[in-house]
Amino acid sequence: MKKEQTRLAFSSCVKNLATSKETEILVDNVNDMSAASEGCHLAAYNFDMYKSDRSKKPVMEFELMDKSSKTDWEDGFIMADCQNLARTLMEMPSNMLTPEKFVEEVVNVFEEFKNDPKVKLEIHIRDEDWLREQNMNALLAVAQGSVQKPRLLELHLSHPDADKSIQPLVFVGKGVTFDTGGISIKPSAKMGLMRGDMGGAACVAATALGVMRLNVPGRIICLMGLVENMPSGNACKPGDVVFSRSGLSIEIDNTDAEGRLVLADVLDYSQTFQPSAVLDAATLTGAMTVALGGAFTGAFCSTNKLFDMLRKSGAVTGDQVWRMPLATLYNDMVKDSLLADVTNSTKQKEAGSCTAAAFLSQFVKCDQWAHLDIASVMENTNHVKYMPNGMSGRPTRTLIQFCKQYFPEIK
Ligand code: BES
Ligand code: ZN
Ligand code: ZN
């Protein structure tokens, strides 16, 4: 059986067993126990944190018939469990998961690995004063409309056996804990989904966890820009101009195009680590759903090599990426501003995902860069048959798989 079929087959067993209230499940062996485990653990996930009857619900326990496949089963479990962490963070409502709370939740998850000899872990929590010292004025402009204070969360992971000649891989995540649109306010229908606008940050944190738990022998740094986008007397307004960390001035033509403002500063900061590659993940544009729907994450890559690695990773996990273009025409559209060097919303409204990527590219210096627009896969609405509907946590498994390929095992 192919991996994706295995995931599907095992997920339907789990679904059926859940209705029959079966809790102890004996699992027979198949050729890919890692995929089987992913199917089971992704299907069994259910977000019921705030339901009062949750303790009464039976928890499924899996037992293997053939213990020799324990390692594969466990690897698949870790992959699914990390994606499930991203799902939980994305589902959590914005009153429960403010930027400060996001930091607390993620730090708690990592706490138990602090004394693990197999990994060197460093955590930095940057507050508003630090952001100001760094001149992260684009990120701060988004945050200024909210009473919730912004944060930048940094996770630095380094395996003791990591090849020091390979510079770190840096992940950047959009962490807008709620996106109202700001003064350019969104319509209220489905606005509640914007609690998942920190999906990029969630996937990036979950990837770091996977890399650590699976002992991937590399060095990675995750940078998560955390803000809430609100309209208020303090909020930034269309037509405002800010000087970003890079020195480029930005016209904020639309306060709902806030993700790219946050990423502009964090991407610029990412370069201080002399990365070998930078990957950002962001629920950036609604246009991504128009282009690709829930089938793929849109991958804007500066090199064929980087895209190829992402494509291969997606083929393994089944959570696939589709290449999207970076082009001069889009760059020109972004630079067409009367007020500043660049605008966060172009005059022509076509190709919204491509102009967003072009905007980000103005702040990237590393020649190996990939921007993943995950807006289209933020919510599962029957796209992935082995997961119940809701916030998807995609493409966490693909990013972990990417790291496995990027830092090959030390033999
Ligand atoms: N967070 C949204 C994008 C989004 C929409 C993610 C739907 C997931 C589902 C983003 O901040 C946004 O509002 N983008 C605007 C940009 C526009 C104003 C240039 C959009 O896509 O409409
Ligand atoms: Zn927005
Ligand atoms: Zn947004």
Core vs surface per residue 226-239: b (16+ CB within 10 A) or e = bbbbbbeeebbeee
Kindly give the distance from the C-alpha atom of residue 284 to the centroid of ligand 1, in angstroms, as a whole number.
6
**Count of beta carbons in the 10 Å neighbourhood of residue 43:** 25
| pLDDT computed for residue 58 by the predictor | 77
Q: What is the pLDDT of residues 38-88, one digit of tens each?
A: 999 999 999 999 999 887 777 889 999 999 999 999 999 999 999 999 999
**Can 186 be counted among the known catalytic residues?**
yes
| pLDDT computed for residue 53 by the predictor | 86
Lowest mean pLDDT among 12-16, 103-107, 324-328: 12-16
Kindly give the distance from the C-alpha atom of residue 160 to the centroid of ligand 1, in angstroms, as a whole number.
40
Check pocket membership of 228 for ligand 1, CB cut-off 6 A: no
The bound ligand whose nearest atom lies closest to the alpha carbon of 181 is 2
3-state helix, strand, coil in the chain (%, to 5): 40, 20, 40
Does pLDDT of 411 surpass 70? no
Check pocket membership of 258 for ligand 1, CB cut-off 6 A: yes
| pLDDT computed for residue 18 by the predictor | 84
Distance CA 344, CA 365 (A): 19
Q: What is the pLDDT of residues 162-220, one digit of tens each?
A: 888 889 999 999 999 999 999 999 999 999 999 999 999 999 999 999 999 999 999 99
Average pLDDT over residues 95-124: 94
**Count of beta carbons in the 10 Å neighbourhood of residue 406:** 19
Of 166 and 389, the one with more pLDDT = 389
Which of 151, 219, 245, 260 is an active site residue? 260
Q: Which of 19, 192, 217 is nearest to 118 (CA)?
A: 217
Distance CA 195, CA 221 (A): 25
Lowest mean pLDDT among 21-30, 35-44, 171-180, 282-291: 21-30
CA distances from 174 to 72, 170, 280 (A): 32, 14, 8
Kindly give the distance from the C-alpha atom of residue 224 to the centroid of ligand 2, in angstroms, as a whole number.
17
Distance CA 47, CA 85 (A): 11
Q: Which of 151, 157, 402, 134 is nearest to 272 (CA)?
A: 134
> DSSP alpha helices (H): ranges in 171-303?
199-213, 259-270, 287-292
Instruction: List CB-based neighbours of ion ligand 3 within 5 Å.
Output: 176, 179, 197, 259
The bound ligand whose nearest atom lies closest to the alpha carbon of 254 is 1
Q: Which CATH class is domain 94-406?
A: alpha beta
Name the residue of 94, 174, 284, 346 to mutate for ligand 1: max ligand atoms within 8 A of Cβ. 284
Check pocket membership of 263 for ligand 1, CB cut-off 6 A: no
| pLDDT computed for residue 149 by the predictor | 98
In ligand 1, the atom with minimum distance to the C-alpha of 229 is 11
Q: What is the pLDDT of residues 314-325, one digit of tens each?
A: 999 999 999 999
Peptide bond into 58 cis (omega under 30): no
Q: Is 31 helix (H, G, I), strand (E, B) or coil?
A: coil
Q: What is the pLDDT of residues 213-256, one digit of tens each?
A: 999 999 999 999 999 999 999 999 999 999 999 999 999 999 99
Which of 15, 149, 186, 311 is an active site residue? 186
Does pLDDT of 332 surpass 80? yes
Residue 241, beta-bridge partner list: 251
Q: What are phi and psi of 47, to 5 degrees?
A: -90, 100
| pLDDT computed for residue 351 by the predictor | 98
Kindly calculate the radius of gyration of the chain based on its CA atoms and give it in whole angstroms.
21
pTM above 0.95, yes or no: yes
| pLDDT computed for residue 117 by the predictor | 86
Average pLDDT over residues 392-404: 99
Spans of all domains in the chain:
94-406
Kindly give the distance from the C-alpha atom of residue 402 to the centroid of ligand 2, in angstroms, as a whole number.
28
Q: Which pLDDT band holds residue 410 (cuts at 50, 70, 90)?
A: low
Cβ neighbours of residue 67 under 8 Å, at least 6 residues apart?
A: none
Check pocket membership of 287 for ligand 1, CB cut-off 6 A: yes
Average pLDDT over residues 375-395: 98
Kindly give the distance from the C-alpha atom of residue 196 to the centroid of ligand 3, in angstroms, as a whole number.
9
